[in-house]
Structure 1
Amino acid sequence: MAAARMARLPASPASNERLLDDDRFRALLPDHQWGRLPLAIWRRFSKRLAAGRTIVYVGEVEEASCSWAGWWLAQVARLIGGPLPTGSATGVPMIVTVTEDAATGGQIWTRICARKDGFPQVIHSSKRFAGPTGLEEYVGFGISMGLRISVVNEALLFRSMGYAIQVGPLRLPLPEWLTPGDLTVTHRDLGSDEFRFTLEVIHPRFGKLIRQSAVFREAAP
């Protein structure tokens, strides 16, 4: 079934870049799960730009909330580069860029979220096809988060599977009390070349800490 649906993908992508076939995300899922994804999600996660090239997605934040504990978590996380959203404004522009990282064989993700006052928040991270689950998010300062992907209701989910810090040649798991809890990112296709990106952080003791949802489309070339 997966092969039949892949054959119906458009012959030319929306971007004017020459895109390379990429099966890195597909290899992390069983065929029966990959086959349940909409074609538009297949396209977004089955293409790789040439080294150093970038895809740009533009959108708007439609939902943003955090508890008091979530607010403090986001402030403390600034010590390692600020990987979590610090604002709760909605209706503001957001831009996501994905750049092929030839040095690590992964992807560099940059998220730029406008604020109603002051400079936009800029979040950098790197998705690396490494670690115990085959995929991890690296935020800098030696800190990474293992990710496991799955398909639920035709959406692609990325769930945290433990946190670690790299100290020289050693990879040390972080104890649970030093982690924010369970982080889930959902990529859901909306049709008409749009998709929704939702981030949610839930702590086993403090409950839902952070939730942010935005709707995007690929920028015109």
Structure 2
Amino acid sequence: MKQASVSPHHQILRDTRFRELVGKDAWRALPEKVRKRFGYRLREGASVVYQGKVIGMRISLTGRLVAQIARLVGGPLPYDASCLNQPAVVTVTEDCGGSGQFWVRQFGRAAGFPQVIYSSKRFAGPTGIEEYIGAGIGMALRVSVDRKGIYFESDHFFLQAGRRKFRFPRWLQPGALTIAHKDLGQSRFLFSLKLRSRWLGDLLQQDAVFHDMQERRYG
């Protein structure tokens, strides 16, 4: 498994945005490696690339339907179980203008082109952080931590039109989305995405293991 890489022409800077979201005490309880991964940002729109492998993929029939419908607004959910045991790549780019981060997730498939998922995280909104998935649709996230890692849970979904945001009613939301980042030791971490419906149970879950960056220089 290859290690993550970062352009040597861009300096990595310390960042306190995630620490401020969870509080200093909770931040200290995190594994040191997790604090390092979420305690930096890149200057001038530089990117960092993490490479890994999908180790788990479960999706129900309803989950497939939801993921296919979501492709109409950018395809933010994994929809093909053939990504299991295939390579995965995540690219994070600093959004200098929007004070956030651009995320691009690429998951290989057993046949055909890989699935590519785009999103943008912005440090804004009632919960302090939002993720935009396309077509003006986004979700406010609640952030929590424990001694294993950091977790992002959907609080609500919304549609942004200009400067106004319209919250979706609960019956129109696909379910509760949880993204986990857990440290595995040996410079590895687990990325886990889970979508669960209040009425239909688990719709999908994807797990992938990634490797840390080779080096990190703080400014």
TM-score using structure 2 length: 0.91
Aligned residue for 1:31? 24
Are the counterparts in 2 of residues 100 and 108 from structure 1 also a CA contact under 8 Å? yes
* Partner SS, residue 157 of structure 1: strand
Are the counterparts in 2 of residues 58 and 219 from structure 1 also a CA contact under 8 Å? no
Matched, 1:19 2:12: yes
Name which of 52, 61, 82 aligns with 2:45: 52
Matched, 1:115 2:120: no
Structure 1 stretches of 4+ with a deviation exceeding 4 A read none
Q: Counterpart of 1:97 in structure 2: which amino acid?
A: T
Map of 1:98-177 to 2, 5 A cutoff?
A: 98-177=92-171
Aligned residue for 1:5? none
Q: Counterpart of 1:39 in structure 2: which amino acid?
A: E
Are the counterparts in 2 of residues 55 and 218 from structure 1 also a CA contact under 8 Å? no
Are the counterparts in 2 of residues 112 and 120 from structure 1 also a CA contact under 8 Å? yes
Are the counterparts in 1 of residues 109 and 115 from structure 2 also a CA contact under 8 Å? yes
Aligned residue for 2:202? 208
CA distance in 1, matches of 2:119, 2:17: 18
Map of 1:31-110 to 2, 5 A cutoff?
A: 31-89=24-82, 90-110=84-104
Matched, 1:217 2:202: no
1:57 Cα offset (Å) = 0.3
Are the counterparts in 2 of residues 188 and 196 from structure 1 also a CA contact under 8 Å? yes
Are the counterparts in 1 of residues 58 and 205 from structure 2 also a CA contact under 8 Å? yes
The C-alpha deviation readout for 1:24-64, integer Å capped at 9, x for no partner, is 11100122211110110011001110121001000000000
1:154 Cα offset (Å) = 2.3
| Aligned length, in residue pairs | 208
Percent identity of equivalent pairs:
45
Q: 1:27 to 1:20 in 2, by over 3 A?
A: same
CA distance in 1, matches of 2:134, 2:71: 11
1:87 Cα offset (Å) = 1.2
The C-alpha deviation readout for 1:92-150, integer Å capped at 9, x for no partner, is 00000000011201000000000011000000000000011000101111111000111
CA distance in 2, matches of 1:30, 1:22: 14
Q: Counterpart of 2:20 in structure 1: which amino acid?
A: A
* Partner SS, residue 25 of structure 1: helix
CA distance in 1, matches of 2:115, 2:71: 11
Structure 2: stretches of 5+ with no match in the other structure: none
* Partner SS, residue 36 of structure 2: helix
CA distance in 2, matches of 1:77, 1:64: 18
Are the counterparts in 2 of residues 97 and 110 from structure 1 also a CA contact under 8 Å? yes
Q: Counterpart of 2:38 in structure 1: which amino acid?
A: F
* Partner SS, residue 205 of structure 1: coil
Are the counterparts in 2 of residues 163 and 173 from structure 1 also a CA contact under 8 Å? yes
Q: Counterpart of 1:76 in structure 2: which amino acid?
A: I
Of structures 1 and 2, the one with the larger relative CO (CA 8 A, separation 6+) is 2
* Partner SS, residue 35 of structure 1: helix
Aligned residue for 1:8? none
Structure 1: stretches of 5+ with no match in the other structure: 1-13
Q: 1:154 to 1:178 in 2, by over 3 A?
A: same
Q: RMSD between aligned alpha carbons? A: 1.3
1:219 Cα offset (Å) = 5.3
Q: Counterpart of 1:45 in structure 2: which amino acid?
A: F
Q: Counterpart of 2:208 in structure 1: which amino acid?
A: A
